[in-house]
Amino acid sequence: MKNKNDIKKSINEIECNNNMGPNQDNSYSETIELINNFSNISVFLAYNANVDGIKFFKDGREVEELINHFDIEEIIETMEKYPRKIKSPVDFIARLIHCMENGKPAEIPIVEDESLNNWFNRIKYDEERIGGQVGIISNLLSLLNLKRIIAYTPLLSKKQSEMFNDSDNLLYPVVIDGKLFLKKPKEAYREEDPLKINRIFEYKQNLEFFLGEKKITTPHANRLIVASRPDKLRIEIGEDLKKKLPEIGEIVDCAILSGYQGIKERYSDGKDDHYYIKRAREDIDLLKRNKDIKIHLEFASIQSKRLRKMIVDNIIPKVDSLGMDETEIANVINVMGYGDFSNIILKNSRIEDVVYASKILLEEHDNLEIVQVHTLYYIMCLCRKDNLLSEGELEKTLDLATILAGTKAKLGKISNIEDLKEGAKIPYNKHEGIFKKVIRDLRKSPEYRDYKIALVPSRLVKNPKSTVGLGDTISSGAFIGYVSMLRDKIINKNNYG
């Protein structure tokens, strides 16, 4: 793993040796300039990390082999019931086929059951790697020249700790004798912590298979996540460390919070979702007690409408930035009382509707500075007119996000700064012209005279090596870019008036 001096040297070498075409060169040089500025940024991450066991479906025969273990009619009936928890193998195969037929990502919790876990363990997985939003984001940011990444997850088994990058800027907070220490994750693991493992099933575009007589062709490459929710996993910060959150808030510039989808309605000890949502609100207040840091909430697929509404009502009012995909923003406004409009977004996927949904969020939550939505074809953000960043500057942060996501999709992972050359070579998708026209028209509309709209088309990889974590990669890259650029603006404003 490279240290900070090696990273800076690599950045300088890339700037000198970049021989790409004019469009890519412009995006890439701006990306490197942004990453250079990350050296003064520190971030706190909480709460979720796990091990991902990944199965790649290379052809339809592999899917049919799974289907053949079940009765076709039972699968179809289960698909119609649309189970929101995996309680049996047939629940899994039904949700997998539904996911593949629609080409949209999904994350479904699995109930704790030894026989069900044993069934999943018999599947041959292609690889294991770090997962969870904190795991994915912390490893990514450790490569991007940040000063310090403090990553916290309630469970830190030995195997999990070894999957974090062994980087000098990636640290785990511990309290010893009442004092806060920052250690490398591999030095902070706890023997008694269980291993949390998610099973991820990835498929490519145009994969064909039969469900009985029905032929199914996947419209897009995507994935289904079967997420474990061990009872010992509690989305909270332990009491000793909780007392140190104001101290952590003083040494970071921002925080990215995620993993609330892991909160259960009720636990074996009688605690419930209300208890952990209350704890989460306290964590945010403590982080901001001594310093007004920027806090980003990375939303996720949440099957429970009850939990989704609790997060919308209790967590969103505490944060500055919100990131999600188009399905998630539709689900968010659904629990806010916009059911019909939510269905329109889910059905039509129009940019105009996604932008308007973002406007609803800003109108109903004065605390929110910026709403960011990523889809297969673009990343968009909306903020108020008085935001210090221009629309062009906002688009630079979004373009960084597309390069990060394109690189990860093409290579499967990002190992170093040099890899981003591959992402910058990927052209924007074919809808670029349409997107630009829609945004130009929206900017001229009286409805948005008090807002700034920024959008950058995605860099689509036809057959990505991985789709897991692309949303987290996009959101975290754009948010850190936003915080970095905003910080420079504030410093310059204070220095020059």
pLDDT digits (tens, 9 = 90+) for 17-69: 333 333 555 778 888 888 999 999 999 999 999 999 999 998 999 999 999 99
User: Which CATH number does the domain housing residue 181 bear?
Assistant: 3.40.1190.20
Q: Are residues 140 and 23 in the same domain?
A: yes
User: Which CATH number does the domain housing residue 208 bear?
Assistant: 3.30.1110.20
Distance CA 341, CA 312 (A): 17
Q: Which residues are catalytic?
A: 472
pLDDT digits (tens, 9 = 90+) for 314-327: 999 999 999 999 99
Peptide bond into 47 cis (omega under 30): yes
Q: Are residues 405 and 488 in the same domain?
A: yes
Specify the amino acid at residue 44.
Answer: F
Q: Are residues 426 and 343 in the same domain?
A: yes
pLDDT digits (tens, 9 = 90+) for 292-341: 999 999 998 888 999 999 999 999 999 999 999 999 999 999 999 999 99
Q: Are residues 200 and 109 in the same domain?
A: yes
pLDDT at residue 3 tops 60: no
Q: Are residues 58 and 41 in the same domain?
A: no
Q: Are residues 296 and 442 in the same domain?
A: yes
Question: pLDDT above 90 covers what percent of the chain?
Answer: 82
pLDDT digits (tens, 9 = 90+) for 457-467: 999 998 888 88
State the pLDDT at residue 468: 81
Report, in angstroms and rounded to the nearest whole number, the Rg of the chain calculated over CA atoms: 22
State the pLDDT at residue 391: 97
- The count of structural domains within the chain is 2
Q: Are residues 204 and 295 in the same domain?
A: no
β-pair type (222-228, 106-110): parallel
State the pLDDT at residue 20: 35
pLDDT digits (tens, 9 = 90+) for 134-191: 999 999 999 998 999 999 999 999 999 999 999 999 999 999 999 999 999 999 999 9
State the pLDDT at residue 170: 98
List phi, psi (to 5°) of 167: -120, 145
State the pLDDT at residue 465: 85
Would you state the structure tokens that stand for residue 341, as one six-digit string?
């409009």
* DSSP letters spanning 300-347: -----HHHHHHHHHHTGGG-SEEEEEHHHHHHHHHHTT-HHHHHHHHH
Q: Which of 211, 228, 245 is the last residue of a domain?
A: 228
Q: Are residues 117 and 136 in the same domain?
A: no
Q: How far apart are the first and last CA of the chain?
A: 42
Q: Are residues 221 and 328 in the same domain?
A: no
Distance CA 302, CA 41 (A): 30
Question: What confidence category does residue 497 fall into, taking pLDDT thresholds of 50, 70 and 90?
Answer: low
pLDDT at residue 263 tops 60: yes
Distance CA 234, CA 130 (A): 19
Q: Are residues 339 and 370 in the same domain?
A: yes
Count CB-CB contacts under 10 A for residue 411.
17
Q: Which of 228, 246, 272 is the last residue of a domain?
A: 228
Q: Are residues 262 and 400 in the same domain?
A: yes
Distance CA 291, CA 455 (A): 31
Q: Are residues 68 and 186 in the same domain?
A: no
pLDDT digits (tens, 9 = 90+) for 228-259: 888 889 999 999 999 999 999 999 999 999 99
pLDDT digits (tens, 9 = 90+) for 465-481: 888 889 999 999 999 99
Q: Is 81 exposed, middle or buried (0-12, 13-18, 19+ CB in 10 A)?
A: exposed
State the pLDDT at residue 361: 98
Count CB-CB contacts under 10 A for residue 71.
12
Q: Which of 181, 205, 228 is the last residue of a domain?
A: 228
pLDDT digits (tens, 9 = 90+) for 101-143: 999 888 899 998 889 999 999 999 998 999 999 999 999 999 9
Measured at the alpha carbon of residue 144, what is the angle toward residues 253 and 408, in degrees to the nearest 5? 125
Q: Domain of 470?
A: 4-49+132-193+231-496
The neighbouring-strand residues paired with 45 are 151, 256
β-pair type (370-374, 321-325): parallel
Residue corresponding to tokens 């690189």: 407
